[in-house]
Amino acid sequence: MVNKELSNGVISSFFASSSAMIFIIIYFSDGPIENAISSLFQQGKLGGLISMSALINLPLFFLGMHRRKTNFAKGVMITSIFIVFLVVILKII
């Protein structure tokens, strides 16, 4: 049961972050998603977009804590920490 809640937290936060990123790209970009992502990478702004889309994890985390689903909230935090490392790697490159 613990592993199921943890994996549900990881999957839901990853899905929420990626959906927010795709929504932001679709809303602000005129071309296809692939071109927008490659353009953001070349400009060095892909890390900022990923960070902005990861803000959706905050309500998920607090919802998990409010409902006393600490393992779900831990899964959200694991994904958030993974996103932080991804942004750091993108900033270094």
Can you tell me the mean pLDDT for 23-35? 93
Residue 58 contacts residue 11 (beta carbons within 8 Å): no
Residue 21 contacts residue 53 (beta carbons within 8 Å): yes
Sign for the pseudo-dihedral over CA of 67, 71, 51, 54:
negative
pLDDT score for 93: 81
pLDDT score for 86: 94
Which tens digits make up the pLDDT trace of 36-82? 999 999 999 999 999 999 999 999 999 999 999 999 999 999 999 99
pLDDT score for 72: 95
Can you tell me the mean pLDDT for 16-22? 95
pTM above 0.85, yes or no: yes
